[in-house]
Amino acid sequence: MNFEAFEPLYEAILADFGFDRAADERARDVAAELATPFPLDRLGDWRGETVAVAGAAPRLVDDVGIARDADVVVAASTAADVLRDRGVAVDCMVTDLDKNPETAAALTREGVPVAAHAHGDNVPAVREWLPRFADERTLATTQAAPAGPVANLGGFTDGDRAAFLADHVGAGRLVFPGWAFDDPDVGPTKARKLDWAARLLRWLERRRGERFGVLDGRREAADAALDAALSGSGQ
**Mean pLDDT value across residues 194-217:** 97
Would you say residue 161 has pLDDT above 90? Answer: yes
**What's the Cα-to-Cα distance from 154 to each of 1, 5, 144, 161, rounded to whole Å?**
6, 9, 10, 6
Closest CA to 21 of 103, 93, 120, 111: 120
Q: In what order do the strands lie in the sheet with 138-142?
A: 138-142, 114-118, 92-95, 72-76, 50-54, 173-175
Percent of the chain with pLDDT over 70: 99
Contact 25, 216 (CB under 8 A): no
With cut-offs at 50, 70 and 90, classify the pLDDT of residue 181.
Answer: very high
- The helix (H) or strand (E) run that includes residue 10 is helix 3-17
With cut-offs at 50, 70 and 90, classify the pLDDT of residue 234.
Answer: low
Contact 144, 136 (CB under 8 A): no
What is the crossing angle of helices 158-168 and 188-208, to 10°? 20
